[in-house]
Structure 1
Amino acid sequence: MLGNFSYKNATKLYFGDDSLKYLNEELPKYGKNIQLIYGGGSIKKNGLYDEIIQILKDNGKNVIEDAGVMPNPTVEKLNEGVKLAKENHVDLLLAVGGGSCCDYAKAVSVSVNCDEDPWDKYYIRFEEPTCEIVPVGCILTMAGTGSEMNAGAVITNHEQKLKIGHVFGEEVMPKFSILNPKYTFSLPKRQMVAGIYDIFNHICEQYFSGDDDNTSDYIAEALMKSVIHSSLIAIENPEDYEARSNIMWTATWALNTLISRGKTTDWMVHMIGQSVGAYTDATHGMTLSAVSIPYYRFIMPYGLNKFKRFATEVWGICAEGKTDEQIAEEGLQAMENWMKQIGVALKLSELGVTEDMIDGITEGTLILEGGYKVLSKDEVKQIIKASM
Structure 2
Amino acid sequence: MLGNFSYCNPTKLYFGEDSLSNLREELPKYGKNVMLVYGGGSIKRSGIYDQVVKLLDEGGKNIFEDPGVMPNPTVEKLYEGCRIARENQVDLILAVGGGSVCDYAKAVSVSAHCEEDPWEKYYLRMEDVDNRIIPVGCVLTMVGTGSEMNGGAVITNHKTKLKIGHVFGENVFPKFSILNPAFTFTLPRYQMIAGFYDIMSHILEQYFSGEDDNTSDYIMEGLLKSLIHSARIAAEHPTDYEARSNIMWIATWALNTLVAKGKTTDWMVHMIGQSIGAYTDATHGMTLSAVSMAYYRFIMPYGLAKFRRFAVNVWDVNPEGQSDEAVAEEGLVRMERYMRELGLVMDIRELGVTEEMLDGIAAGTFAMDGGYRAPDHDEIVEILKASMA
Q: TM-score range by the shorter chain?
A: over 0.9
Q: Which whole-Å CA distance do the structure 2 matches of 1:144 and 1:21 have between them?
A: 23
Per-residue deviation, 1:8: 0.4
In the alignment, structure 1 residue 322 sits paired with structure 2 residue 338:
no
In structure 1, what is the equivalent of residue 52 of structure 2?
52
Q: Distance in 2 between matches of 1:54 and 1:205?
A: 40
- Distance in 2 separating the partners of 1:103 and 1:273: 17
Aligned twin of 1:15:
15
C-alpha deviations, 1:205-261, integer Å up to 9, x for none? 000001100000000000000110000000110000000000000000000000000
In the alignment, what sits opposite 1:367? 367
Moved >2 Å (runs of 4+) = none
- Which amino acid in 2 is paired with 1:214? N
1:332 aligns with 2:343: no
Corresponding position of 1:306: 306
Cα displacement (A) at 1:296: 0.2
The answer to whether 1:185 aligns with 2:212 is no
Q: CA deviation at 1:375?
A: 1.4
CA–CA distance in 1 between the matches of 2:320 and 2:93?
Answer: 55
User: How far has the Cα of 1:263 moved from its partner?
Assistant: 1.4
RMSD: 0.4
Q: Cα distance, 1:293 vs. partner?
A: 0.3
Q: In the TM superposition, what is the alpha-carbon distance from 1:347 to its structure 2 partner?
A: 0.6
Task: Using the TM superposition, give the Cα deviation of residue 113 of structure 1 relative to its aligned residue in structure 2, in angstroms.
Answer: 1.0
Residue 63 of structure 1: aligned partner: 63
CA distance in structure 2 between the aligned counterparts of 1:386 and 1:374, rounded to whole angstroms: 17
User: In structure 1, what is the Cα distance between the partners aligned to 2:219 and 2:364?
Assistant: 33
Give how far 1:112 is off.
Answer: 1.1
Structure 2 counterparts to residues 135-154 of structure 1, below 5 A = 135-154=135-154
Q: 1:127-175: CA deviations, max 9, x gaps? A: 0111010000000000000000000000000000000000001000000
CA deviations over 1:272-311 (Å, ceiling 9, x no partner): 0000000000000000000000000000000000000000
Q: Report what 2:381 is aligned to.
A: 381
Aligned match of 2:35: 35
Which runs of no fewer than 5 residues in structure 2 stay unpaired? none
The one-letter amino acid of 1:365's match is: T
Residue number in structure 2 paired with 1:209:
209
2:123 partner letter: Y
Q: Which amino acid aligns with 1:367?
A: A
Percent identity of equivalent pairs: 69
- Which SS does the other structure have where 1:94 is aligned? strand
Aligned to 1:197, what secondary structure does the other structure show?
helix
- In 2, distance between residues paired with 1:129 and 1:20? 30
**Aligned-partner Cα distance in 2 for 1:377–1:358:** 10
Letter matched to residue 344 of structure 2: V
**What is the SS of the residue equivalent to 1:128?**
coil
Q: Which amino acid aligns with 1:80?
A: E
Q: Tell me which amino acid in the other structure corresponds to 1:118.
A: P
Using the size of structure 2 for normalisation, the TM-score is 0.99
Alpha-carbon distance between aligned partners in 2 of 1:103 and 1:364, rounded to the nearest angstrom: 21
Q: Does 1:83 align with 2:83?
A: yes
Alignment map for 1:247-326 (pairs within 5 Å): 247-326=247-326
Matched with 1:243 is 243
Whole-angstrom distance in 2 between the partners of 1:276 and 1:138:
27
Query: 1:87: Cα distance to partner?
Result: 0.2
Structure 2 counterpart of 1:197, one-letter code: Y
Helix, strand or coil: the match of 1:258?
coil
Distance 1:374 1:361 in 2: 16
- Distance in 2 between the 1:55 and 1:260 partners? 36
Match of 2:6 in 1: 6
1:38 positional shift: 0.2
- Give 3-state SS (helix, strand or coil) of 2:262's partner: coil
Amino acid at match of 2:148: E
Question: Aligned-pair distance for 1:376?
Answer: 0.9
> Could you tell me how far apart the structure 2 residues matched to 1:231 and 1:62 are?
40
Cα separation, 2, equivalents of 1:51 and 1:321: 59
Q: Which residue number corresponds to residue 117 of structure 2?
A: 117
In 1, distance between residues paired with 2:70 and 2:113? 23
Give CA-to-partner distance per residue, 1:302-341, whole Å, 9 cap, x none. 0000000000000000101110000000000000000001
Match of 2:129, SS state, is coil
- How far the C-alpha of 1:379 sits from its partner, in A, is 0.9
* Per-residue deviation, residues 175-229 of structure 1 (Å, max 9, x unmatched): 0000000000000110000000000000000000011000000000000001100
2:22 maps to amino acid = Y
Residue deviations 1:56-107 (CA, integer Å, cap 9, x gap): 0000000000000000000000000000000000000000000000000000
Distance 1:74 1:268 in 2: 22
**One-letter code aligned to 1:238:** P
